Amino acid sequence: MNRALAVVLCWSLPFVSTGCGKVEARGLAKEGNELYRAGKFEQALDKFEAAVRLDPEFPIIHLHMGYAAMSLAATGEEPASTLHAAKAIAAFGRYMRLAPGDERGAKFYLQALLDAGRTGDALGFLEKQHRANPRDVMIVSSLGVVSSRAGDFASALRWYEKRADLLPGEAKARYLIGTLCWEHLYKNSSIVGADRVRIADRGIAALQQAVKLQPGSPGESLTYINLLFRERAKGQDNPTARERDMEQARQYYRRALKALRGGKG
């Protein structure tokens, strides 16, 4: 039955108007999907919005409406881009509520928030998820990445370390802590003295653990230990302590070269 015929039958049978609205909504959604696949995002969004008005409880329409609005937000100009971003966030939020078991809702809701620059809202959403699922590694990882993107090093480090606690045998979890600490020091020469030493030490300790967990290929971890000792040296007021750190850096540099060339660290 095509959509036009379905609409005619629905108008002739008012006592089943609710069911007919659902039929028409699905027809509009199908048209919207075809337009979306053709790259006609504006027309697709119009179809999905019309379908939602007829059947607001049909989950998949909200998901597809979110896709169309997100595509428009990414390709459009202001102020339309902001409007479409808000529509995407609302659509994915609605889909999460209607289909709580589908991880696509949370995934694209978070992505829409980040694309819209709503980092604070993204963190709030992730923190709520973390409270409900405190041992979910993906949520903890996302909290670390988003905190880092927001420029909140202290929170990012806390979440990266939490991820390492949840994955006691994973070298990568420790490696990420070390690279986070190095990047923060490298980009912030204003961090001096004991604060600089303390951050470097946390990174070095994590990377040393990573080396123990990856004895066959520790080259990159050794390289960053070398780099962190160089950053640590910048925090030393005492020339002797500074030179001690630089000597440690040189030793780890030599070990890194050996490991990267195929030898053991």
Got the DSSP string for 33-96?
HHHHHTT-HHHHHHHHHHHHHH-TT-HHHHHHHHHHHHHHHHH--TTHHHHHHHHHHHHHHHHH
Per-residue pLDDT band at 6 (split at 50, 70, 90): very low
Is 88 domain-assigned? yes
Q: Indicate if 34 and 111 belong to the same structural domain.
A: yes
**Least confident range of 32-36, 163-167, 214-218:** 214-218
Looking at residues 31-59, what average pLDDT do you find?
Answer: 96
Is 143 domain-assigned? no
Looking at residues 131-142, what average pLDDT do you find?
Answer: 96
pLDDT of residue 11: 36
Looking at residues 34-63, what average pLDDT do you find?
Answer: 96
Cβ-based neighbours of 230, under 8 Å, separated by 6 or more: 245, 246, 249
Looking at residues 60-83, what average pLDDT do you find?
Answer: 94
Is 59 domain-assigned? yes
Is 128 domain-assigned? no
Determine the structural domain holding residue 253 and report its residue range: 169-265
Is 140 domain-assigned? no
The overall pTM is greater than 0.95:
no
Number of domains in the chain: 2
Q: Indicate if 113 and 174 belong to the same structural domain.
A: no
pLDDT of residue 139: 97
Radius of gyration of the chain (CA): 26
pLDDT of residue 213: 95
Per-residue pLDDT band at 53 (split at 50, 70, 90): very high
State the average pLDDT for the chain: 92
pLDDT of residue 13: 40
Q: Indicate if 91 and 196 belong to the same structural domain.
A: no
Is 158 domain-assigned? no
Q: Indicate if 109 and 217 belong to the same structural domain.
A: no
Is 144 domain-assigned? no
Q: Indicate if 1 and 113 belong to the same structural domain.
A: yes
Is 132 domain-assigned? no
